[in-house]
Structure 1
């Protein structure tokens, strides 16, 4: 079970990398007002959602403690990110504030995951 959990953790990290990498690659365009949500950002957020749900289930099945409050907050933040990216995915230009919010929420989710013990 440990190997399976570690595989899903790795996939979860790949998802966050795709989401954050997509944001960082568009920072220059954000300054110019031409930033857009890339397909990789949407796929990264979906990967995070699927692997996160799987990780909670696998950890509970393995009788490991799961902090439901932390997971609930991370899920809520991810749902907001996913909703914004999904709804605005076809637009040519995204408002700087909205695009920055996705980057900020993504970064906040990383800090929640790593600093909340």
Structure 2
């Protein structure tokens, strides 16, 4: 089961890279005006959501490890907020501040993961 945890963690990091990479790739475009988030950003956020939930399930269920439920709830809320903004941006272009909020939320999620023990 440890292999499954590592595999999920690997794909969780891939989702993070796709989300932040898509954001950075569109940063110059966003400075010129409204922008629609890239499809990769949507896929990265969804990958993070699915693998994050699966990681918690594996840790609590199969490996019988305790997780910090408050931290996980905060991380879930942050990725859901980013996902909502991305989905809104798929319908109509987002203003620069709203688009920047997606990148900020992604970075905040990394900060929560790293610094919240």
| Shorter-chain TM-score tier | over 0.9
Q: Check whether the contact 1:27–1:35 (CA below 8 A) recurs between aligned residues.
A: no
**Aligned residue number for residue 53 of structure 2:** 53
Q: Normalised by the size of structure 1, how large is the TM-score?
A: 0.95
Whether the 8 Å CA contact 1:36–1:94 is kept in 2: the answer is: yes
What's the counterpart of residue 101 of structure 2? 101
* Residue 82 of structure 2 corresponds to residue 112 of structure 1: no
Counterpart of 2:74 in structure 1 is: 73
Greater share of helix: 2
Partner of 1:43: 43
| Residues 32-54 of structure 1 deviation map (CA, whole Å, 9 limit, x = unaligned) | 11432011000111111100000
Match of 1:33 in 2: 33
Residue ranges of structure 2 left out of the alignment (5+ in a row): none
SS of the aligned residue for 2:90 comes to coil
Structure 1: which 4+ aligned runs deviate by more than 6 Å? Answer: none
Structure 1 residues 51 and 75: CA distance shift in structure 2, 3 A: same
Q: Is the 8 A contact 1:23 1:41 kept in 2?
A: yes
Offset of residue 65 of structure 1: 1.4
What stretches of structure 1 of length at least 5 have no aligned partner? none
User: 31-40 or 50-59, which moves further after superposition?
Assistant: 31-40
Please tell me the root mean square deviation across aligned C-alpha atoms, in Å.
1.0
TM-score normalised by the chain length of structure 2: 0.95
